[in-house]
Amino acid sequence: MRNLEEILEEFENTRLAFITYRKKGDMKKDALLEYQGRFIDLKAEIRPFKTKLLGETTRRDDKAATAIKFRIAVAIHEGEFKDEEGKLFFEKCSINQAEKFASASKAYKDFLHERVFFKRSYVNLSDVRNDAESYINLTKDLLKNIQ
Instruction: At 82, give phi and psi (nearest 5°).
Output: -115, 155
Residue 46 pLDDT grade (very low, low, confident, very high; cuts 50, 70, 90) = very high
Determine the pLDDT at residue 26: 84
CB 131 within 8 A of CB 15: yes
Question: Model pTM?
Answer: 0.83
Residue 2 pLDDT grade (very low, low, confident, very high; cuts 50, 70, 90) = confident
Residue 147 pLDDT grade (very low, low, confident, very high; cuts 50, 70, 90) = low
Name residue 48's amino acid. Answer: P
Q: How far apart are CA 99 and CA 70, in angstroms?
A: 7
How many domains does the chain divide into?
1
User: What's the whole-number mean pLDDT along residues 38-55?
Assistant: 96
CB 64 within 8 A of CB 119: no
Range of the structural domain that residue 69 is part of: 4-146
Determine the pLDDT at residue 4: 92
What is the per-residue pLDDT across 52-111, written as a single tens digit (0 to 9) for each? 999 999 999 999 999 999 999 999 998 888 777 777 777 788 999 999 889 988 899 999
